[in-house]
A = this chain, B = another copy of it.
Amino acid sequence: MNLDFFFYPNSVAIVGASTVPGKVGYELVKNIVEAGFGGDIFPVNPKGGSILGLKVYSSVKSIPSTPDLAVIVTPAETVPGIVGECGSIGVKGVVVISGGFSEVGNRGLEEELVSHARKYGVRVIGPNSAGIINTSINFHACMEFRVPRGPVSLISQSGAVGGILFALAREGGVGFSKFVSCGNSCDVSEVDVLEYLLGDDETGSIALYLEAIRNGRRFIDVCRRFRGVKPIVAFKAGKSISGGRAAASHTGALASPYHIYSSLFRQFGILEAPGLSGLFSSSKFLGLGFRARGPRTIIVTNSGGPGVVATDLCESFGLIVSEPSENLKSRLRGFLPQICSLRNPIDLTATGGYDWYYGVLREVAISGEYDLALVICVPPSFTNPMEVAKAISDFHNLNMGMPIIPCFMYGDIVRECVKYLEGRGIPCTFTLEDAAYVAYSITRFGGGFFGSPIR
């Protein structure tokens, strides 16, 4: 299904636009304007007036040219009529942000909405959606805070999961290409969006937050046809009994037993993330093309404890954290003092700076003994972690075919390093759990476990 009019509209109407800051109908217009959308923006409200310098039209029909897309935030009972009105003037797609449909038991109203849409052939995202984003045209028709650009596209059955992942992206700088909050998926489904994004050149990887898939057969069909085309990382919520009930109250869908999803994911080479943060981290690295040709992992660190924890985590994901050869050790001993442990993790101790990090990475890459490097920096108060960031960046630029997963911890002290690296296309992780999961992910997709990449 071609969803271009959703992602690349030339013009958009916001029905239910408001002049009152703090109201959804105001903040939505503000988000679209401030993100820098280049097309026409038509706020619609019977009261008229103007919002942020834009003329407010009293109805959809009074807009001078037909918008490609309408975003609707009016009360639930008014939505079917407005959708019909949009269809009648030739609007191609509507995004219904309003809630109060099947997710609270109002199935009749949702059916009415769908029948109005079908009558005119207008396609619907939502209702109960948080909106839609395409950063490549600065289009942010969404209730969530803004997000930096990047290679990841997110399909989510929760708007707030988008909000959480966007905030993680703002911590670093590498972010998203496209985002759809599917809401109740009364018409356009997550599978429709998945199929579209699998063919989207701007999307490097797809992150999928799922509670329940309504049309399993079509999901399987799309997964089979597009298998291995690009990385998909999924997080399935509603795994438990109460979680399933909660999911039903959220988007009105019934969740199948979790193990069915889990085996589908495995069968079609879809990675399953252990949590929301892993979902984003993994998509970020995969989306930027990071791949490891094998599971042999070197851990380079300035701190012993985090090195030990990372080793445990890597082994739990099936990665191999073995000792360097005597030859490699003696090359490393050429410039590292006795105080540094070389048994993998390579522990540069708290004094490890640019030269040691860079030197170790380069020697390890030359040796060919490892397929990827996990680089940890927990700066004590007397060091400058930017040295470590620069060593990573300079090594990365050598293009030696050994991907690096930086893990800078934590928060205030290392924020600048993370921004520096992500600004140069080198994504970072913020926890050891994420770093290990990313290592696993890029090995799965690089063919590291099976001899050939995930297909």
Contact = CB atoms under 8 A, between A and B. Distances in A.
A209 B276 CA distance: 25
Contacts of A246: 299, 304, 307-308, 311, 321, 343-345
A8 interface: no
A410 interface: yes
Interface string A373-384: 000001111111
A390 interface: no
Interface in A420-440: 431-433
Interface stretch (A24-32, A41-49, A189-197, A259-267): A24-32
A87 interface: no
A65 interface: no
Contacts of A311: 238, 240, 242-243, 245-246
27 contacts: A22-B384, A23-B382, A27-B381, A31-B381, A103-B341, A104-B339, A130-B380, A144-B381, A156-B305, A158-B303, A158-B306, A159-B303, A160-B304, A160-B378, A164-B306, A167-B412, A167-B413, A168-B410, A171-B411, A238-B311, A245-B323, A246-B299, A246-B344, A249-B345, A250-B304, A250-B305, A250-B347
Given A303-B158, A341-B249, A167 B411 contact: yes
B159 A211 contact: no
Interface of A: 22-24, 26-28, 31, 76, 99-100, 103-104, 106, 130, 143-146, 156-161, 163-164, 167-168, 170-171, 209, 211, 237-243, 245-247, 249-251, 275-277, 299, 302-309, 311-312, 314-316, 321-323, 338-341, 343-345, 347, 349-351, 378-384, 409-413, 431-433
